Amino acid sequence: MNAKPTALVTGASSGLGAEISRVLAQEGFDLVLVARSEGKLFALKNELEDRYHVTAHVFASDLAQEDAALDVYDFVLERELRIDILVNNAGFGDSGTFHEADWSRQRDMVQVNVVALMQLTHLLVPHMVERGAGMVMNLSSVAAFCAGPYMSIYYASKAFVLSFSEALYEELAGTGVTVTALCPGPTATGFEAAADMGAGSTMFRHADDAATVAKRGCEAMLKGKAVSMQGAVTKRLAFASRLVPRSVARKFAMRMNR
């Protein structure tokens, strides 16, 4: 059994996942780093262990594969690791019209953004409840607050994550376990290119810094907040989405996503 508190971070090889891992290592947490790219994970492991004197475990896994979360869970059990923090960060987006989209990519997006997140939470939270302590951070987005034409499945997946996280936060009240939905706006992580949005898209012209979003998100999680909205633009958009008609919000999102 590990002596230090340990955090499991999915999508840890780059972007927000890597930055969140750095923040938690600086806070003294050992890490379980999960992502597809084993080489990048080992590079991050070496960096964290050298800089922060923590132990980082690497598990390369493609969470788009059915029940990949079970493999992650088995890895944790085999090494008798106690997971104190679960960060469900892994996810990706895609752009274009739904009826013309590649079906397998849309299916994989739901598997990673929603199903794997659900499964890891379902597997690890009971251990936290039994101990009477634990934290979960799920990566949602400002996209959760309205429909997103040309990125329909991505926006819908993030709306699920936000609703799911808030519901669990209330269900787990009094258990010692908290759930935080991190809702950043556009962030400089490489998401734009991975989602095939094209260089210089409107949405990413004023992207937030990934290290700053990670730091503030971790601070919110460690304080036990249910929802953490990062950046002034994000907060304004989330507030505006509650005031304007949904037809207006989705047309605005459509212009941003083109």
DSSP the chain: --SS-EEEEESTTSHHHHHHHHHHHHTT-EEEEEES-HHHHHHHHHHHHHHH---EEEEE--TTSTTHHHHHHHHHHHTT--EEEEEE-------S-GGGS-HHHHHHHHIIIIIIHHHHHHHHHHHHHHHT-EEEEEE--GGGGS--TTSHHHHHHHHHHHHHHHHHHHHTTTTTEEEEEEEE-SBSSSHHHHTT--TT-GGGTTPBPHHHHHHHHHHHHHTT-SEEEESHHHHHHHHHHHHS-HHHHHHHHHHHH-
Among all residues, which ones are annotated catalytic?
154
Q: Using the predicted structure, report yes or no on whether residue 199 has a pLDDT greater than 60.
A: no
Q: What is the mean pLDDT of the chain?
A: 88
Q: Report the top-level CATH class of 6-257.
A: alpha beta
Q: What is the pLDDT of residues 67-91, one digit of tens each?
A: 999 999 999 999 999 999 999 999 9
pLDDT at 234: 59
pLDDT tier, 36 (very low <50, low <70, confident <90, very high otherwise)? very high
Model pTM score: 0.86
pLDDT tier, 251 (very low <50, low <70, confident <90, very high otherwise)? low
